[in-house]
């Protein structure tokens, strides 16, 4: 499938120049207004845990699956903006909270992590069963972008989407974690750790984390052992999507930014890409930022997602 880049590049306003300002200002822009007519849905997993999903039925013949970033939920600004726009376009939207996130807090004993392809495949399988015959498109943000690419490139025996969009994937988890411990990136590191520590309270393994101060520590003390990996380093090595990008067979867009402070596009470019992958790297965008002065509300990310979803669903 031949894909073209959006006509407009992400040209930053003066107040959002550079990766850090892009990343931070995107979190403080206007929140989506109005209440979407969500239908709540509980997805039972094979191991006894459950995921909290929300559904917006549509009529276009396309189901868009939305998966949030680390420490987030379906209530994140970017998730609500995407859901609202895709629903307005007539698509069915299925937004998933990862294990223990959002409305699913308390529903899971296990944890989600960068290699949780089985959970994502379960959501996609539900979409295929609930909306047979519809084109299934998965959109993953940040950690979910990594999971999505790992599913498409390595775990092709599991349920796949028909199309995929991965936004700011941390393609090299070790490099990403190390960057989070340096300089101003410690601000993001602390943000993630605070949210994750709240998420795991009351879960097996969630006690005794008083000495955890960084994501590096959290992954060693909680993520790796709870997910069944012998060490943090083994977890990073086995769950980084980068080495598996050459195996992707479904039409896929990777959207990334050269100035992402901890998951830069350069990490993606270090790995061979499948012909099915369309890599779009912006010079400026930060991590999940993409504030651009030539698009409505400065939300260039929304503009780019609309562009690529249109191309993937209407070749």
Band (53; pLDDT cuts 50, 70, 90): very high
Q: Tell me the per-residue pLDDT of 2-22, one tens digit each, with 9 for 90 and over.
A: 899 999 999 999 999 999 999
Flag whether 205 is in a domain. Answer: no
Using the predicted structure, report yes or no on whether residue 31 has a pLDDT greater than 80.
Answer: no
- Length reported for the chain: 315
Write down the residue that tokens 């409505």 correspond to: 296
Flag whether 236 is in a domain. Answer: no
Centre a 10 Å sphere on the Cβ of residue 273 and count the other Cβ atoms it contains.
17
Residues of the chain with pLDDT > 70, as a percent, come to: 100
Cβ–Cβ < 8 Å for 288, 70: no
Domain holding 79, by residue range, is 14-172+246-313
Flag whether 267 is in a domain. Answer: yes
Q: Tell me the per-residue pLDDT of 112-124, one tens digit each, with 9 for 90 and over.
A: 999 999 999 999 9
Band (315; pLDDT cuts 50, 70, 90): low
Flag whether 141 is in a domain. Answer: yes
Flag whether 300 is in a domain. Answer: yes
Residue 96: how many CA atoms within 13 Å on its side-chain side? 27
Flag whether 238 is in a domain. Answer: no
Question: Could you tell me which residue, 173 or 211, shows the higher pLDDT?
Answer: 173
pLDDT of residue 291: 97
Query: Which two three-digit tokens encode residue 38?
Result: 């969500």
> CATH number of the domain that 155 lies in?
3.40.50.1820
Using the predicted structure, report yes or no on whether residue 210 has a pLDDT greater than 90.
Answer: no
Mean pLDDT, the chain, rounded, equals 96
Q: Tell me the per-residue pLDDT of 120-155, one tens digit each, with 9 for 90 and over.
A: 999 999 999 999 999 999 999 999 999 999 999 999
Q: What DSSP character marks residue 234? A: H
Q: Is 279 exposed, middle or buried (0-12, 13-18, 19+ CB in 10 A)?
A: middle
| Angle at 282 (CA atoms; ends 277, 288), nearest 5 degrees | 90
Alpha carbon distance 306, 311 (integer Å): 9
Q: Say how many domains are in the chain.
A: 1
């Amino acid at each position: 499938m031949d894909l073209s880049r959006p006509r407009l590049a992400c040209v930053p306003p003066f107040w959002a120049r550079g990766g850090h300002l892009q990343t931070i200002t995107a979190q403080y822009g206007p929140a989506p207004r109005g209440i979407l007519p969500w239908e709540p849905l509980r997805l039972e997993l094979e191991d006894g845990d459950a995921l909290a999903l929300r559904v917006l039925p549509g009529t276009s013949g396309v189901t868009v699956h939305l998966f949030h970033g680390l420490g987030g939920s379906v209530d994140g600004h970017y998730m609500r903006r995407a859901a609202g726009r895709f629903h307005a376009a007539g698509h069915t939207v299925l937004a998933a909270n990862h294990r223990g996130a959002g409305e699913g807090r308390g529903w899971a004993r296990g944890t989600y992590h960068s290699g949780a392809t089985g959970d994502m495949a379960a959501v996609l399988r539900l979409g295929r069963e609930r909306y047979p015959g519809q084109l299934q498109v998965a959109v993953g943000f940040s950690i979910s972008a990594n999971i999505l690419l790992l599913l498409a490139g390595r775990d092709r025996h599991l349920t796949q989407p028909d199309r995929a969009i991965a936004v700011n994937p941390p393609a090299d988890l070790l490099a990403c974690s190390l960057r989070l411990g340096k300089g101003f990136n410690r601000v993001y590191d602390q943000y993630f750790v605070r949210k994750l520590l709240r998420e795991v309270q009351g879960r097996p393994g969630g006690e005794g984390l008083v000495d955890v101060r960084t994501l590096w520590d959290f992954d060693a003390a909680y993520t790796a052992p709870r997910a069944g990996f012998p060490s943090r380093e083994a977890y990073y090595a086995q769950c980084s999507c980068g080495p598996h990008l050459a195996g992707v067979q479904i039409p896929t867009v990777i959207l990334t930014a050269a100035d992402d402070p901890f998951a830069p596009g350069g990490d993606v470019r270090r790995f061979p890409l499948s012909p099915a992958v369309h890599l779009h790297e912006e010079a400026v965008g930060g991590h999940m930022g993409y504030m651009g002065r030539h698009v409505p509300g400065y939300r260039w990310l929304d503009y780019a997602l609309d562009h690529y979803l249109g191309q993937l669903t209407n070749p």
